[in-house]
Structure 1
């Protein structure tokens, strides 16, 4: 059956309507679906990590597990884009999601046996899975939307994804409301996380490959067939000599480096068990607000896309400086040797540190959404962007692996804060330079849209697309 204003379906020869944004094969629905997958898997992982120490009294096991996680993530984040291009979304995303379930299960085991080995091994496997998942997610989020609305779609994804952290924060808050501060979270907390993560694994099979996704103007995301292992190996190696990727390295390294400090040494040290869960509800809720705000600036603030990029970086830089300045004032009164008295959400002294932790979540979303927008502005095809996103996640994870060991070795808290603040600050001028040299304004982008982004106009094109 056909619809006026539709485009030909590659397999059946029928037409697909492009009038409704809520078509199953529309970018809006597909980006929403990958958002739900990340809601269930990394969203719940974030809630688990955000409690400090993975919900355990002693954070050593979680720190070592996270070191293993981000070490393998650094490798498979970089390789993930190539693997996604070879295997496609279903196998890549499902394999990645399944490792989140195992990780949460390892802490359920640790609750009873206190053996780190399972948690560390599960962390290493999760790093492999997370590399696959985030490379696929990055390709979908940056290549499926129209070029002039990538900021909006990134904020949509980020809002859905971080709702997982909000719901995930409620799980430990409710289930551990009356528990003693000297205990770890209960078994039901980890089981709840595992149920959500299992649902995300099943939901990943609903994601369509890029050549099946049709934008409202009738263009497809890409019509090239999946790549080969040799091609991807060469293209991934080229990333290490790509000047665009080298300019992103400081921002990528900084973008997860601050998690160990914020989770363990702000939320974990300043607040009691139930309050940490409540704080995470607002930390990840702040991420939703931050992504929406920066998404609007990056898509609608000026007609020139390059100017929108400059303004977005400027806003994040100013806000980041103010928030880290507040973090410095908050950090000065306590240290590892002089820990603070843990606060409950019912105490009046709770307000100031809570606002700071909320602001950290706001800044995280704005910073990462800004970087994803810049990556999305460097190309339009799924294959290139999957490699760029994988490189970003790989470098990001290498930084995180170092950060978790920094915390394990009890580096002074003030030093950790200063390093985090410095890393984000150094990245801003390099991102400005990247936007100046590599991001084209909207008119140029439309004129130079790559041929693979168009609907097949011949039987040869259709046959090539069908071979995927």
Structure 2
């Protein structure tokens, strides 16, 4: 049944206001019933990101891109995220013009090129210019991929399913990181101080498979949600109209600016975790296992917060929003307080010469827990950020603007700006402790700034006016 709201005027008469996107449609039969199901499409979307960003995450998680010298990778990531931050402002328009499937396909191409550049630099150490160029191209491609991904993932579920759909996607996406980390760990198991070509070849093959996966997906306007409503046809405005719509979004939803610090912080943390901790004090094979453990913990963090907290139907949405905020904020404090006791034991100069911790060392078990806890925090923060955006609107065109300008992991415009800053600091040789403390402070500030947004903007249901504004 269509959703109807009855408004009673002062004279006692009533008028019906029909929810503009809630017209009922008959679900298809046969194999189309399963193929056009929103869960099926989100699963396929997850596997697209499994093969692209998931493998990229595994490579980044190795610390220095699996290299002994991390400076080239830090510079490439700084350029990558700076490019991402800029093109993220306009990727929503490209997504609306090309359609999400072609946008996803173009987006995945950049990941294959980036992986190939690390294979090349392992063979020709003087090919750093190629890695930097690949970083620029990936920045453009990643902006396209994550904008298309964000608009689809938030448009397919009903209002009550958004946390579950985020968890489904995030779980599959992180399986890419798990597989990539497992490949890296397996190929370098007998190597503690040197790298191997095998893992880069494996990474490249997986990302090339991901390039063609979007062709198997269907157009979003053919998908019928589980409540019988059809996903809105994504509009194709001009660039000028898209920029005006961004202006109107900020004008009509000005409180969204309070979320910007949280998005800025969410990717800022990767530099310390992957390069300044995992890449600094562990052997090559220990890095691979650490990355594997971190990726696995991200799956559990996303499922825990998305399914058991944010989609808890017995609790009102506003209450769930506050529960989620409290849990993420506490994890920020705990994870960084824990990590501080390890960071204060070494400096950048000392790490260059010090003995590297290996998986056979007695101290390894205690140190790997830092990676596990931070992986858990990362997925919780990304899941909460996406859910919070989804709580503001159910309109995919509006969400395309939001995700292109704001959304996570997860990587979008503001996140990428934060990541570009932290990777640049690492490439410049800033003290590890300074990068760590700045990460801690920025994440705390991001959650504090987001609190008024949760209080003022999140309601128990999305109003009709918000959908049609």
TM-score normalised according to structure 1 size: 0.89
Cα distance in 2 between the residues matched to 1:180 and 1:388: 44
Q: Does 1:222 align with 2:226?
A: no
The alignment status of 1:236 with 2:246, answered yes or no, reads yes
Identify which of 359, 374, 384 aligns with 1:370.
384
Contact in 1 for aligned 2:232/2:396 (Cα 8 Å): yes
Change (3 A) 1:224 1:94: closer
Q: 1:332 maps to what in 2?
A: 344
Residue equivalent to 2:331? 319
Cα displacement (A) at 1:223: 3.5
- Residue aligning to 2:404: 390
Are residues 450 and 239 of structure 1, via their aligned partners in 2, closer, same or farther at CA, if it must alter by over 3 Å?
Answer: closer
Deviation at 1:207, TM superposition (A): 2.7
Q: Is the 8 A contact 1:73 1:128 kept in 2?
A: yes
Secondary structure of the corresponding residue to residue 355 of structure 2 = coil
CA contact (8 A) 1:253 1:396 kept: yes
Q: Which residue is equivalent to 1:3?
A: none
* Structure-2 residue corresponding to 1:83: 94
Q: Which residue, 343, 346, 362 being the options, matches 1:348? A: 362
- 1:20 shift after superposition: 9.8
The 10-residue stretch of structure 1 (423-432 or 313-322) with the greater mean CA deviation from structure 2: 423-432
Question: What residue number does 1:108 align with?
Answer: 119
Give unmatched runs, 5+ long, in structure 1: 1-13, 453-468
- 1:357 matched to 2:371? The reply is yes
Alignment of 1:2-401 (within 5 A): 16-17=27-28, 23-114=34-125, 115-181=127-193, 183=194, 185-223=195-233, 225-238=235-248, 242-295=253-306, 296-300=308-312, 302-339=314-351, 340-392=354-406, 393-401=412-420
Task: Provide the C-alpha distance between the structure 2 equivalents of 1:355 and 1:107, rounded to a whole number of angstroms.
Answer: 28
Q: Larger deviation: 232-241 or 429-438?
A: 232-241
Change (3 A) 1:360 1:256: same
Deviation at 1:449, TM superposition (A): 8.6
Q: 3-state DSSP class of the match of 1:256?
A: helix
Distance (whole Å) between structure 2 residues aligned to residue 391 and residue 130 of structure 1:
13
Q: Root-mean-square deviation (CA), in Å?
A: 2.1
Superposition deviation, residue 230 in structure 1? 2.6
Question: Which residue in the other structure is 1:436 paired with?
Answer: 455
Tell me how far apart the structure 2 counterparts of residues 366 and 143 of structure 1 sit (CA, whole Å): 21
Q: Aligned residue pairs: how many?
A: 435
In the TM superposition, what whole-angstrom CA distance separates every residue of 1:238-268 from its partner, at most 9, and x where no partner exists? 4565523311110111000011111011111
Note the alpha carbon deviations across 1:88-132, whole angstroms, 9 max, x for none: 112211000011000000111111222211000000000000000
Unmatched runs of 5 consecutive residues or more in structure 2: 1-24, 407-411
Deviation at 1:34, TM superposition (A): 0.8
In 2, Cα distance between equivalents of 1:42 and 1:172:
16
Q: Answer yes or no: is the 8 Å Cα contact 1:309–1:435 preserved in 2.
A: yes
2:268 aligns to what SS in structure 1?
Answer: coil
**Does the C-alpha gap of structure 1 residues 220 and 274 become closer, same or farther in structure 2, counting only changes over 3 Å?**
same
Deviations 1:439-466 (CA, angstroms, capped at 9, x unpaired): 2203xx37779589xxxxxxxxxxxxxx
Could you give the per-residue CA deviations for residues 322-356 of structure 1, whole angstroms, max 9, x where no partner exists?
Answer: 11100111111111122242111122100111011
Which residue does the alignment assign to 1:418? Answer: 437
Displacement of 1:158 in angstroms is 0.4
Say which is worse superposed, 356-365 or 235-244, in terms of deviation. Answer: 235-244
Give the distance between the partners of 1:117 and 1:313, measured in 2 at CA. 42
TM-fit CA distance, 1:58: 0.8
**After alignment, is 214-223 or 368-377 more displaced?**
214-223
Question: What is the TM-score with the length of structure 2 in the denominator?
Answer: 0.89
For residues 22 and 262 of structure 1, what CA distance do their matches in structure 2 show? 43
Q: Which moved more, 1:208-217 or 1:166-175?
A: 208-217
